[in-house]
Structure 1
C-alpha cells in the first residue's frame, strides 16, 4: 500500500470514529419491513392450526374468572357454564374481524409517533424485573431513581421506540402506589410512547386518568397513546385482575396485548405445534373479548414464549422451538389480519456473558424473521427476567438498531453511482478515497459503538476492556448527555396533584382488587 493510500485509509478510519462518537440521538422510525417473512407452514397447515384452535374454543372452552366478563359473554350469545365459556367459531371470527390491522401511536413529541402492523414494527424495552445490575454491575433491589435511569436510557436509544413502564420494580415505594409513580416516570423522562400498568382494573383506570391529563380526554378517543399487557393464565384461563385492566384500557380505545403466558411443556403440550394451537385459542378468546367490550378498539395478538427444561423445570430462552413458535404465530396473526407481539433478546444467563449473547441474538433473529409488530422486552432482559442489566440494556438497544437496519432490507438508491465507482477504481485499486465512499460511508455499513473491532494490540493498549465494561461506560456517557424533555408545566402540576391525591386515597396495604 502506498503512503497516499495509507493516509487515505487512516483518514477514513478517523472520519468513521468521529461519526461513532458524535452521532446525534434521534429515534429511528418504526421498522418498515424490507425482507421476506420466515414462514415454515403452508396454507393447509395454517388452516389446520386454526381448526384445532377453534375446536378447543368450541369443545374445551376457556375459563373467565370474572363476573362482568361472564355476563358480557352471556349477552353476546356464548355458552356460559359457570366460569367456563364455550364459543362458536363463527362468533370468534366475527368478533376479531373488527380489530384494526394497523395501529398509529401518538407520543408526547409528535416526532416520535410510530405505527405498527402491516409490515411495521417497534422495539420496546423489557419490564417487570425485581432486581437490576447497576452501573457498577452489582445485582440489587431497584429504586424509583433506578427506574428513571432506565427510562432515560430508553429515551437516549435510537432503536427503542418506547420507554415501556416498570422496566424495574421501584421497591422503595408501596406496591399499591407504584403504578402511579411508574407511569409518571415513563411520561417525565421520555417523550416517546410508553406502556400503561395493568396490575388491576382500578390501577388501569388511574393510568387512563393520567393519560387524559397528559393528552386530553377527547384525544384518547381516537388516538393510541399507551399499551396495556393482559396476561392469560395458561392453560385456558383469564382472571379478574387482567380482565378488569383490559376493560379500563379498551373502553378508552387504548390497545392491549392479549398474551398467553407459555411455559412450553408445563402449561402447554410438550410439543411445538400443539402448543401453538393452544396459545392461539387463548389469544383469540382474549382478542374476541376486547371487541365485546368495544367494537373496533385496537388490540394486539400477544404471547410470552419460553420452553421448560425437562430436567429442572426451569424456563429456557433462545431454544429452537421458541424460534419455530414465533415463526408460526406470525403466520397465524397475519392469517387473522391483526398486529402481534412477541418478546425479544431473552436469556436465562445470570451475567452478561456468552450465554446471554447467544440466547439474545438467537431470539432477535427469530423475531425479525417472524415479523412481529410489537417487539417487547427488547433491552436488558437477564436471568429469565429476574433482573435488568444496565450493560445489556445498552448493548441490546444497539443490537435492535442493527436488526432494524438488516430487516429494512437492502438499499438500491445509490446502485448506479456505486457501479460507476467500480469503473473508476478498476482492478487492483481501493474505494476508501473514492467520492462515492466519502459520501456514503456513514450509512453504508452499520458501525457498532459497543463492539470492539480493533487489533489486539490496540485493544490491549486501551485497557483490554470487555463488553460489559465498555457498555457501562457508554451508559454513563448517555446519562451525562441526557436532557430531560420537559413536561408542560401545567400538565406536570396536574399529574403530581393527581398522584398525591390517589396516594392519600389508596392505603399502602391495599389489595390489588380493592376499589379506592
Structure 2
C-alpha cells in the first residue's frame, strides 16, 4: 500500500520537520490508575465463583489434547483420565501462587519499558485482522507494507504501548513463513514492546530465537521482553498447538496470556455469573500449567469476551453483559493476585460509523473501571475483528489517550494557585488571560485532535469533514512524518540472516484461496 502524497507546498521537507517539532510522539508511560474500581461482587460472591470454578476443575475436568501436557500433569500429581485432567484445588492454588503479581515488560528502547500489573495498565493494538480498510477506506486483503504502516502508526501514537504483532495478516507472504516477517516488522518499525506469534510451537520458538538475537538469550532469562497469547477452546479444552507455544514461552521466562475464548451463550452458559465461573476455571488451569513448566514464570489471566445474539448467533461487542463480566474478572484476578488481560474498543460495525464508536466507548470505559492490566485490541478493531480500519486505528488511539487521562484521576497539584485565580478574577470576569490559565491550559482539559467541536458554520466552511476522513488524513500525515527508530546494525543483520535461513528451511506453503 502506498501512502497518499499531498502537495509539495504542504508536505515538503520543511513542513514535515515543522510538523514533527510541534507534535509530541513520545509514548505515554504505563497508565497508573487512580480511580476507584467497579467491583460489583461482594466477598461471598467472589468465594461462590471461586468455589464453582474449583468444582469444575476437580469434578468436570479440563481436556488437555497434548501428550506432553498430560505427562507433565501426571508428574505433579494431577488426576489424569485419558485426555481429561482433574485438578485438585489445593494444587491449583499452590501453582498459581508462584505467578508474579507485577513485573516489567522490557522494550528495545529502555525508555519504553513498562511496569506491569497491580495498578498499571497498558494499551496494545488489535491483531489478527484478515482484511483492512486502507488509507482510502477500501476494504481489501492486507500486505506486508500495510502491516508495516500499522507498526509505524503504533510507534507514533502516544497512548499505544506496543506494536503488537500481526495487526493485519500479510497475504503477500507465504503463511508458513509469515511469522518471521511479522516479528521482524514489529521489532524494526517500533522500539516499543511487542507480541510474539503463537500459531504453532515451532513458530513460537522462532519468535523467541529472534528475541534472543535482539535482546540476548541470557537477558531473557530474567527480563520479560515479549508476550504470547494462548487461546483456549471453550468449553474446557486446551489443544496441542497452544500448549506447545505456552511451553516455549514459559520455559524462556516470557509471559503468556492464558485466554479462554468466550462466546457467551454459545460456548458458555447463557448467563453472566456461570459464564464467568467456567471462564475462570479455564484460565486457572492454563495459568497453573505455566507454573508446572517453570515456577515463577510471568503469566497473565486472559480472556476474549463476546456475547452471542440469541436471534442470529452472531458475536456482539459492547453489550452490558460484557462489561459486567469484565468487572467480575477483574475482581477474580485481584483475588488470585495475578495480572489480567481484557479486550478494548471492539466493534461489530462494518464501517467506522456510530455503532462502532458506541460499542468501542462502552468497552473502553468498562475495562478501565474494571482495572485491566493488559488492554489488548485497543486500536482498529471492527466487523467483529474481520478488519482493521486505518481511520478507526488512529481515532481509537486518541480515545485511549482520553481514557488514560480519565483513569489518572483528579490532579490537585495546582489547586491553591487556581483558587487564587478565583480571588483575582472575581464575579463577572473571565480566566482566559490569567497567569494560571496561561500556564495550565495545555494540560487542564483534554483537547481531542480528531473530534470536531467547532460551530457548524466553521465545520461547513472547512469542508464538512466527518470522523472517518479526519482519521484517514491524520493517518496519512503521521506516515509522512514517520522516522524509523534506529536498530543496531549488527542485531538487524543477525535478524535478517535468521529469517533468510529459516525461510530456506520452511517450505513456502500458502493457505488455499487466500485472496478472498
Short-chain TM bin: over 0.9
**2:148 aligned residue:** 148
2: CA distance, partners of 1:57 / 1:22? 56
**1:49 aligned residue:** 49
Secondary structure at the aligned position of 1:195 is classed as strand
1:22 is displaced (CA, Å) by 2.2
**2:70 aligned residue:** 70
2: CA distance, partners of 1:163 / 1:20? 20
Secondary structure at the aligned position of 1:427 is classed as coil
2: CA distance, partners of 1:510 / 1:359? 35
2: CA distance, partners of 1:201 / 1:240? 9
**1:314 aligned residue:** 314
1:103 is displaced (CA, Å) by 2.0
TM-score for both structures, normalised by structure 2: 0.95
1:150 is displaced (CA, Å) by 0.2
1: CA distance, partners of 2:476 / 2:193? 23
2: CA distance, partners of 1:217 / 1:288? 25
Question: What pairs up with 1:421-460 in 2 under 5 angstroms?
Answer: 421-460=421-460
**1:11 aligned residue:** none
- Whether the 8 Å contact between 1:20 and 1:449 is mirrored in structure 2 is no
- Whether the 8 Å contact between 1:19 and 1:442 is mirrored in structure 2 is no
2:91 is the counterpart of 1:91: yes
2: CA distance, partners of 1:390 / 1:403? 20
1:23 is displaced (CA, Å) by 2.9
Question: What pairs up with 1:337-486 in 2 under 5 angstroms?
Answer: 337-486=337-486
- Whether the 8 Å contact between 2:19 and 2:481 is mirrored in structure 1 is no
**1:501 aligned residue:** 501
- Whether the 8 Å contact between 1:378 and 1:397 is mirrored in structure 2 is yes
2: CA distance, partners of 1:402 / 1:21? 22
Secondary structure at the aligned position of 1:307 is classed as strand
**2:182 aligned residue:** 182
- Whether the 8 Å contact between 1:61 and 1:86 is mirrored in structure 2 is yes
**1:122 aligned residue:** 122
Secondary structure at the aligned position of 1:190 is classed as coil
1:509 is displaced (CA, Å) by 2.6
2: CA distance, partners of 1:277 / 1:103? 27
1:115 is displaced (CA, Å) by 1.3
**1:245 aligned residue:** 245
2: CA distance, partners of 1:502 / 1:466? 46
Q: Deviations over 1:284-311 (max 9, x none)?
A: 0000000000000000000000000011
Secondary structure at the aligned position of 1:176 is classed as coil
1:19 is displaced (CA, Å) by 11
1:486 is displaced (CA, Å) by 1.9
1:508 is displaced (CA, Å) by 1.7
- Whether the 8 Å contact between 1:20 and 1:447 is mirrored in structure 2 is no
Q: Deviations over 1:198-217 (max 9, x none)?
A: 00000000000000000001
Secondary structure at the aligned position of 1:222 is classed as coil
**1:82 aligned residue:** 82
- Whether the 8 Å contact between 2:128 and 2:168 is mirrored in structure 1 is yes
2:335 is the counterpart of 1:335: yes
Secondary structure at the aligned position of 2:177 is classed as helix
Question: What pairs up with 1:94-113 in 2 under 5 angstroms?
Answer: 94-113=94-113
Q: CA RMSD in A?
A: 1.2
TM-score for both structures, normalised by structure 1: 0.95
Q: Deviations over 1:216-243 (max 9, x none)?
A: 0111000011100000000000000000
2: CA distance, partners of 1:115 / 1:289? 24
Q: Which runs of 5+ in 2 are unaligned?
A: 1-17, 512-516
Secondary structure at the aligned position of 1:129 is classed as coil
Distance 1:396 1:347, change over 3 A: same
1: CA distance, partners of 2:508 / 2:492? 24
2: CA distance, partners of 1:433 / 1:110? 40
Moved over 4 A (4+): 18-21
1: CA distance, partners of 2:21 / 2:431? 23
2:225 is the counterpart of 1:225: yes
Question: What pairs up with 1:12-27 in 2 under 5 angstroms?
Answer: 22-27=22-27
1: CA distance, partners of 2:306 / 2:269? 13
- Whether the 8 Å contact between 1:52 and 1:277 is mirrored in structure 2 is yes
1:20 is displaced (CA, Å) by 12
**1:134 aligned residue:** 134
- Whether the 8 Å contact between 1:63 and 1:83 is mirrored in structure 2 is yes
Q: Deviations over 1:367-387 (max 9, x none)?
A: 111000000000000000000
Secondary structure at the aligned position of 1:401 is classed as helix
Secondary structure at the aligned position of 1:175 is classed as coil
Q: Deviations over 1:150-192 (max 9, x none)?
A: 0000001000000000000001111110100000000000000
**2:195 aligned residue:** 195
Distance 1:480 1:510, change over 3 A: closer
Q: Deviations over 1:328-349 (max 9, x none)?
A: 0000000000000000000100
1:24 is displaced (CA, Å) by 1.4
**2:255 aligned residue:** 255
2: CA distance, partners of 1:47 / 1:37? 19
2: CA distance, partners of 1:509 / 1:499? 16
1: CA distance, partners of 2:267 / 2:463? 48
Q: Which runs of 5+ in 1 are unaligned?
A: 1-17, 512-516
Secondary structure at the aligned position of 2:85 is classed as strand
1: CA distance, partners of 2:115 / 2:344? 19
**2:514 aligned residue:** none
1: CA distance, partners of 2:401 / 2:23? 13
2: CA distance, partners of 1:272 / 1:20? 48
- Whether the 8 Å contact between 2:20 and 2:481 is mirrored in structure 1 is no
- Whether the 8 Å contact between 1:348 and 1:382 is mirrored in structure 2 is yes
